[in-house]
């Protein structure tokens, strides 16, 4: 009626939300929605989480829904997997995914394989979540990306958010999924604010697992990334646009199952491919993308070899200047794009 009378209605209200707050919202909404959901991990309850992701949830939901555990990843991960087998929906937090190595037998041999080995009669709806990849100044034992590790394993779904909408939507989708899901967050993104649409603020908002998102349209080269390097790709694309190079930036969002169709369609359009990740090069996510493109019909559209931008093939150094040189930077992406386009 207002539109008929000539009034211009305001656009849907978008707000700035940090990744930390988006994850907190997702947990709060899913704990409220389904009484089978509970959160467990080190310091998640009374301390509000090591990174304050679970802030306020223990006071709201109590000891049975938000559970502090001892420093024993194998123990509390086993509790989470066992609870999932009897149709609870645990969210198991690792203070860092480097510590998930203590519990990898529970994640791989118990969670990932049980549905298959039981001929589908036992589902394991558990979410393993926490910070993944390089942080800042924490050395080699706390700076690995596990996307390729867990993406290698059938039976798991693996998601890797970049923005606040990614974080909220993927966590909610993961909690509702009947399969074990590994959610690889990034510590350096927790405090970063992103615009969140009105739709994403809804309690019904989810991001479908297995669907990538085109963050920027382009015509000259396809950049495919996940997690924090998506932001680096967008920065590189903005710089290259000033030189007349239009990059299409794809936010993978899900590592397994991988949305190869979106990447293929982009490569058919741009005829060039660069993958960007923080993990090591050998057997990495970029290597898998390149293999999928080579094996599919999009290979016929490539005008140059695909190029990978990855972390350095060394354990992460502690010194900041060495650490910076081990992690893909915007300049590295720009160099790779120009190499691919031969400019």
Q: Note if 142 is an active site residue.
A: yes
- Answer whether 246's CB lies under 8 Å from 311's CB: no
Q: Note if 323 is an active site residue.
A: no
> Choosing from 142, 226, 232, 272, which is the catalytic residue?
142
> Choosing from 29, 30, 42, 73, which is the catalytic residue?
73
**What is the CB-side half-sphere exposure of residue 81 using CA atoms within 13 A?**
22
3-state secondary structure the chain: CCCCCCCCCCCCCCEEEEHHHHHHHHHHHHHHHCCCEEEEECCCCCCCCCCCCCCCHHHHHCCCCEEECCCCHHHHHHHHHHHHHCCCEEEEECCCHHHHHHHHHHHHHHHHHHHHHCCCCCCCCCEEEEECCCCCCCCHHHCCCCHHHHHCCCCCEEECCCCHHHHHHHHHHHHHCCCCEEEEECHHHCCCEEEECCCCCCCCCCCCCCCCEEEECCCCEEEEECCCHHHHHHHHHHHHHCCCCCEEEEECCEEECCCHHHHHHHHHHHCCEEEECCCCCCCCHHHHHHHHHHHCHHHHHCCCCCEEECCCCCCCCCCHHHHHHHCCCHHHHHHHHHHHHCC
Active site residues: 73, 142
């Amino acid at each position: 009626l207002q539109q008929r009378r000539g009034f211009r209605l305001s656009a849907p209200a978008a707000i700035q939300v940090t990744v930390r707050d988006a994850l907190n919202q997702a947990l709060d909404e899913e704990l409220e929605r389904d009484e089978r959901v509970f959160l467990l991990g080190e310091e998640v309850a009374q301390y509000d989480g090591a990174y304050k992701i679970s802030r306020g949830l223990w006071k709201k939901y109590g000891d049975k829904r938000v559970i502090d555990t001892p420093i024993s990843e194998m123990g509390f991960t086993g509790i989470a997997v066992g609870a999932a087998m009897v149709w609870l929906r645990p969210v198991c937090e690792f203070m860092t995914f480097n510590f998930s190595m203590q519990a990898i037998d529970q994640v791989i041999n118990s969670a990932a394989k049980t549905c298959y080995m039981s001929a589908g009669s036992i589902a394991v709806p558990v979410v393993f979540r926490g910070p993944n990849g390089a942080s800042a100044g924490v050395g080699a034992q706390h700076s690995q990306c596990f996307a390729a590790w867990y993406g290698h394993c059938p039976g798991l779904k693996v998601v890797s958010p970049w923005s606040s909408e990614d974080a909220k939507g993927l966590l909610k989708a993961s909690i509702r999924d009947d399969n074990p899901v590994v959610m690889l967050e990034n510590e350096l993104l927790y405090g970063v604010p992103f615009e969140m649409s009105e739709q994403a603020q809804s309690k019904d908002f989810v991001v479908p697992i297995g669907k990538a998102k085109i963050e920027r349209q382009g015509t000259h080269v396809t950049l495919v990334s996940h997690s924090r390097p998506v932001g680096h790709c967008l920065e590189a694309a903005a710089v290259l646009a000033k030189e007349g190079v239009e990059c299409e930036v794809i936010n993978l969002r899900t590592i397994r199952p991988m949305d190869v169709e979106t990447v293929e369609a982009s490569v058919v359009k741009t005829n060039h491919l660069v993958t960007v990740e923080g993990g090591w090069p050998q057997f990495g996510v970029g290597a898998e993308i390149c293999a999928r493109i080579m094996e599919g019909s999009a290979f016929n559209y490539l005008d140059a070899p695909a190029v990978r931008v990855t972390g350095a093939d060394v354990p992460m150094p502690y010194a900041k200047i060495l650490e910076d040189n081990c992690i893909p930077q915007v300049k590295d992406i720009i160099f790779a794009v120009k190499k691919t386009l031969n400019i």
